[in-house]
Amino acid sequence: MPYVTTEDGAQIFYKDWGAGGSPVLLSHGWPLNADAWEATALFLASHGHRAIAHDRRGHGRSTQTWDGNEMDTYADDLACLIDHLDLTDLTLVGHSTGGGEVARYVGRHGSARVARVVLVSAVPPLMLRTEDNPGGLPIDVFDGIRAGELASRSQLYRDLADGPFFGHNRAGDVPQGVRDAFWLQGLASGTRNAYECIAAFSATDFHPDLAAIDVPALVIHGDDDQIVPIDISGRLSAELIADATLLVYEGRSHGLPDLDRERLHADLLAFIDS
């Protein structure tokens, strides 16, 4: 299996599908891995693009490091992979936590290799409520996730999959296989890695990173997202990025890559090929 080794010795697993065409790098959400993007990677590779998806450190098949479970290191790992593959004219696509990762990559490493950015149900600019971010979610929300991670991570992931992540608690019509895949991928992450990533996705301030995005951006968000509410994330990100287009998926949940694939794939392809 293909890996790239980072400066601190972590091995980052990645998939590299398709030949020719401009590259698209897909960054996954918490607590998932590259498998979460398989359908999208297959679609893009089948439509003339090179699709790359990696397992964030501590997730999936990548090294479960003790340290480095924060956004700066995630972004540096991404830079290591991009440099290793010598990617240019690159479209960065990030779902949820992955949206923070790609924003932080541009903030730390610039856009010389990047042509476009796509944020899907993404965590920027800042999820946590603070004095400067009064509209954010209270820390009790994230402390509850941390408590669940420590008490029974298997049950936590089951509860998220059966409840708000896909909106199954609204309509109850999310296929069992989709929910099981979330649970399975979650359990492939390291306990410490997943626990520390909760702070990474909730308490990291991405305002400077969004201001640094100087390439066209597409922000896609469901307006019934119970995990990353659109009013504290997608709408604000679209305002903070200089050249951004916001697409709102009405009535849709956080799990757009699984439940809204046809629409998402069409929107991604149109933006990448524009």
Instruction: List active site positions.
Output: 96, 225, 254
List strands edge to edge, sheet with 217-222: 3-5, 11-17, 50-54, 23-27, 90-95, 114-120, 217-222, 244-249
271: its two tokens: 């933006």
Cβ atoms within 10 Å of 239's Cβ, excluding its own: 12
Class of residue 220 by CB neighbours under 10 A (exposed 0-12, middle 13-18, buried 19+): buried
Alpha-carbon distance of 35 to 263, in angstroms, equals 19
